[in-house]
Amino acid sequence: MIYKSLVSINDYSKKEYIEILDLAAEFENNPIRETLKGKVIATLFFEPSTRTRLSFESAISKLGGKIVGFTDSSSSSVTKGETLYDTIKTVSNYSDLIVMRHPLEGSARYASEITNIPIINAGDGANQHPTQTMLDMYSIRKTQGTLENLNIFLVGDLKYGRTVHSLLMAMSQFNPTFNFISPDELKIPEGYKYFLDNLGLKYYEHKDFTDIISRADIIYMTRVQKERFSDPIEYERTKNTYVLKNNMLTNTKDSMRILHPLPRVSEIDIDVDQNPKAYYFNQALNGVFVRQAIITSTLGLI
């Protein structure tokens, strides 16, 4: 099993992805345990969150652990000028593991290099969101019965969407075909295309997906990440580019499922919610079991 920080999705091997998913399935069957009794987990959220923080805290509570931390850095000594270095060094004295979300790319890696306790990256800027990816993969495997050879549509903000970046890297181990659907301003960064090119994987870029939607196994919708734009006019221009509506799903595969890391703004109409192909709220639930698996694995308690 895995006894190490999870900073990048590439910190896990393909074998380790499967181990975590299998363990998460065990937690789904039996989520209430005392595995974390006597352990203290710090949740440091320097950026807002609903699902990631609460599902981590739910996961810890169900395992009998205790939680310390903050949900808003303005209530911490960061407002007095304390550095990330000093915050991590200090919190390491009070906890067995730190779950951290921070707006700066690379902050989780930095934190992992200055402390002896494990760090779990709960999102660092536009870079990575590896625990989201693990629950996305869990949701994909659960709904498709496999992770192999799937046609995955990634729709929306592919430039700033950290969940997209982590998911692309992890799923690249399972021979996917990617369809990238975005406006020009929010295309998948070139580095990720080089990454896929080097692996010989197929990908296609589109501005619209209505004509090809019948090919999708997974449609992964994303929010346009307002907080990452330096130009508010560009955000206004792109924010409503894609709105998935129920009547667009008529010719989709029966097995196709719609995922979204959430929060949703306007990119999935609420008329989709009643469609059995809408899976995003189940996906959010899966986050509890997957995070139970990641925490216990990281602490070597399984």
Catalytic site residues?
51-52, 80, 101, 129
113: number of CA atoms within 13 Å, CB side? 6
Task: Return the ∠ at Cα 130 (arms to 126 and 134), rounded to 5°.
Answer: 140
Backbone phi, then psi, for 251, in 5-degree steps?
-100, 25
Q: Collapsing DSSP states into helix, strand and coil, what is residue 11?
A: helix
CB 284, CB 54: distance < 8 Å: no
- Minimum distance from CB of 165 to ligand CP (Å)? 13
* Closer residue to ligand CP in complex, CB, 5/132: 132
* Closer residue to ligand CP in complex, CB, 215/226: 226
Instruction: State how far the alpha carbon of 149 is from the alpha carbons of 21, 165, 186, 230, in Å.
Output: 18, 19, 26, 37
* Closer residue to ligand CP in complex, CB, 55/151: 55
- Which amino acid type is present at position 165? H
* Closer residue to ligand CP in complex, CB, 263/300: 263
CA dist 155 and 128 (Å) reads: 17
CB 70, CB 44: distance < 8 Å: yes
* Closer residue to ligand CP in complex, CB, 47/96: 47
CA dist 106 and 110 (Å) reads: 6
Residues present in the chain in total: 302
Backbone phi, then psi, for 107, in 5-degree steps?
-65, -35
**Which of 218, 220, 166 has the alpha carbon at shortest distance from 195?**
166
Region for 106 from its dihedrals, namely left if φ exceeds 0, alpha if ψ lies in -120 to 50, beta otherwise: left
Q: Collapsing DSSP states into helix, strand and coil, what is residue 23?
A: helix
Sheet strands side by side (includes 119-124): 66-70, 40-45, 97-102, 119-124
Tell how far CA 194 is from the center of its chain.
22
For ligand CP, the binding residues (CB under 6 A) are: 49-52, 123, 129, 132, 261-263
* Closer residue to ligand CP in complex, CB, 70/177: 70
